[in-house]
């Protein structure tokens, strides 16, 4: 808390500026769904990061293993920081997909990194900057453990699916942080309210949780469809089902969704897309034009087409075969391999009369 520099003409001392309340009011006006304050300290549980990495649970996300000491300790990332202001915006989408193929709720519209950063910048400029405090904005890609920090800031608790669960918005908050040299009284960390529930663990299609509260990312469909480069191991292809990008299974089943509403954030609104076979014919220029400014852009064309082929292999029909046959001549060998796999899957489901019967 800082004292206002405006001098008072009466006998009372100047009123203290209630930074926390002003930040909360401003955040609500800007459309944030949650806000809290954590001290810029190592969050409880951060010590598990090293163990998690030693088990290679990060798969090919090499960037998670780089600077792991820095990632676990916000003070190493920013020595000036005294407080971490954590904000959340719900990404929940309640309408079913318009076309074949599902995209995770957070990725159906514009890139949240941009919209959240923009909102956090407005928050910092309207408050911290006017008080002369420093600020540094972090959304997802900075080396910070956002979930344990958000839990420390009282936004919720890390559930058995490892996600930050908020009592009103469930697991749907997308998180962003502002590191500042201003000292703000920390919020009270929340209790774990998972109790005996195991819905998320039971619902996971790939059994990606070796134990409650721990995720082996190598088995997670969000990792496989977004982060994993190259060919997707065959054991996971049918489990991908109709998921084109990410997976919401362990979010959808959480009982803490009971009060969760559709996101108010317009940038999460789903952008309509053409059918899968149309997108399969796109060259790189068309892909970039269509997906620039969305989370799908960073997949690049190859991984997007790879994912389309898997989904068609799982839910497609003989009508999709011409498009897949064309992709068997794609310049990208991963696309060619997945298109061939998809054709085999469809032909196994719908044997054509001119093919010899399978023995
Ligand atoms: C790497 C990453 C991934 C990886 C790994 C996920 C993971 N659980 O670690 C993959 C690609 C799989 C992924 C998937 C998703 N992600 Co992600 N991801 C991240 C990222 C960049 C880092 C997370 C991290 O530090 N992981 C390392 C592990 C060690 O951290 P942890 O899970 O917090 O570990 C805690 C516990 O699991 C436990 N623990 C861990 N290991 C061990 C070992 C033992 C023995 C014990 C006892 C405990 C224990 O202790 C730790 C500290 O509390 C964050 C952004 C950020 N900078 O934080 C976003 C983030 C976590 N992702 C997010 C989202 C939305 C998703 C998806 C829902 C997207 C989707 N719909 O497809 C899925 C959800 C999958 C899931 N159930 O986690 C959001 C989550 C928001 C929220 N409300 O929680 C974040 C915060 C991004 C953001 N800015 O909003 N993600
Ligand atoms: S996102 Fe899907 S695959 Fe990953 S842990 Fe959750 S349910 Fe399992
Ligand atoms: S589904 Fe159940 S166990 Fe999983 S995070 Fe939600 S409350 Fe916790």
What pLDDT does 351 receive? 82
Q: Which of 6-15, 90-99, 127-136 has the lowest mean pLDDT?
A: 6-15
User: What's the average model confidence in pLDDT over 273-293?
Assistant: 98
What pLDDT does 11 receive? 60
Ligand 2 atom nearest 200 alpha carbon: 7
303 - beta bridge partners? none
Determine if ligand 3 sits within 6 Å of the CB of residue 277: no
DSSP states along 171-201:
T-EEEEEEEESS--PPPPPPPP--TT--HHH
What pLDDT does 321 receive? 98
Task: Identify the residue with better confidence: 23 or 13.
Answer: 23
* Residue-level length of the chain: 359
Percent of the chain exceeding pLDDT 90 equals 90
Sign of the dihedral through C-alpha 111, 114, 119, 120:
positive
Q: What single-letter DSSP state applies at residue 162?
A: S
Determine if ligand 2 sits within 6 Å of the CB of residue 250: yes
Say if CB 309 and CB 294 are below 8 A apart: no
Nearest to 328 by CA among 355, 301, 305, 359: 305
Ligand nearest the Cα atom of residue 226? 1
Ligand 1 atom nearest 52 alpha carbon: 41
Task: Tell which one of 166, 200, 204 to mutate to probe ligand 3, the residue whose CB is within 8 A of the most ligand atoms.
Answer: 200
Residue 327 CA to residue 340 CA, distance in Å, equals 8
Check if 192 is active-site.
no
Domain ranges of the chain: 2-197
Neighbour tally for 185: CB within 10 Å: 12
Average pLDDT, the chain: 94
Task: Tell which one of 158, 192, 201, 222 to mutate to probe ligand 1, the residue whose CB is within 8 A of the most ligand atoms.
Answer: 222
User: What's the average model confidence in pLDDT over 79-95?
Assistant: 97
Determine if ligand 3 sits within 6 Å of the CB of residue 165: yes
Determine if ligand 2 sits within 6 Å of the CB of residue 208: yes
With cut-offs at 50, 70 and 90, classify the pLDDT of residue 341.
Answer: very high
Q: Which of 3-12, 33-42, 47-56, 206-215 has the lowest mean pLDDT?
A: 3-12
Determine if ligand 3 sits within 6 Å of the CB of residue 162: no
What pLDDT does 142 receive? 92
Q: 315: CA distance to ligand 3 center in Å?
A: 29
Nearest to 77 by CA among 132, 27, 14, 144: 144
With cut-offs at 50, 70 and 90, classify the pLDDT of residue 6.
Answer: very low
Cβ-proximal residues to 32 (8 Å cutoff; 6+ apart), any chain: 87, 88, 89, 119, 123
Q: What is the pTM of this model?
A: 0.95
């Amino acid at each position: 808390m800082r004292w206002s520099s405006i001098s008072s003409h009466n006998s009372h001392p100047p009123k203290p500026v209630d930074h926390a309340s002003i930040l909360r009011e401003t955040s609500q006006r800007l459309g944030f769904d949650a806000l809290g304050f954590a001290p810029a300290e190592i969050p409880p549980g951060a010590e598990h990061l090293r163990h998690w990495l030693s088990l290679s649970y990060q798969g090919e996300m090499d960037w998670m293993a780089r600077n792991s000491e820095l990632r676990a300790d916000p003070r190493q990332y920013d020595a000036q920081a005294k407080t971490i202001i954590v904000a959340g915006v719900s990404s929940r989408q309640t309408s079913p997909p318009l076309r074949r193929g599902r995209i995770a709720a957070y990725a159906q519209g514009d890139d949240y990194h941009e919209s959240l950063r923009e909102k956090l910048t407005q928050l910092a400029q309207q408050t911290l900057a006017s008080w002369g405090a420093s600020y540094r904005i972090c959304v997802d890609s900075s080396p910070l453990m956002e979930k344990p920090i958000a839990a420390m800031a009282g936004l919720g608790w890390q559930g058995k699916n490892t996600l930050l669960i908020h009592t009103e918005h469930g697991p749907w908050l997308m998180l962003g942080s502002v590191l500042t040299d201003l000292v703000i009284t920390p919020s009270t960390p929340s209790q774990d309210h998972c109790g005996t529930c195991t819905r998320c663990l039971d619902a996971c299609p790939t059994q990606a949780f070796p134990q409650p509260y721990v995720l082996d990312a190598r088995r997670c469909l969000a990792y496989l469809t977004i982060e994993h480069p190259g060919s997707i191991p065959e054991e996971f292809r049918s489990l991908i089902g109709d998921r084109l990008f990410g997976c919401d299974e362990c979010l959808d089943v959480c009982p803490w969704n009971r009060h969760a509403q559709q996101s108010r954030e317009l940038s999460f609104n789903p952008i309509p897309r053409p059918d899968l076979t149309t997108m399969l014919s796109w060259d790189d220029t068309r892909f970039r034009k269509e997906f620039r400014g969305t989370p799908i852009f960073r997949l690049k064309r190859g991984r997007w087409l790879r994912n389309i082929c898997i989904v068609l292999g799982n839910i497609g029909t003989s009508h999709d075969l011409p498009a897949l046959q064309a992709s068997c001549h794609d310049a990208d060998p991963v696309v060619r391999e997945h298109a061939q796999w998809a054709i085999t899957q469809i032909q196994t489901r719908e044997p054509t009369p001119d093919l010899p019967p399978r023995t």
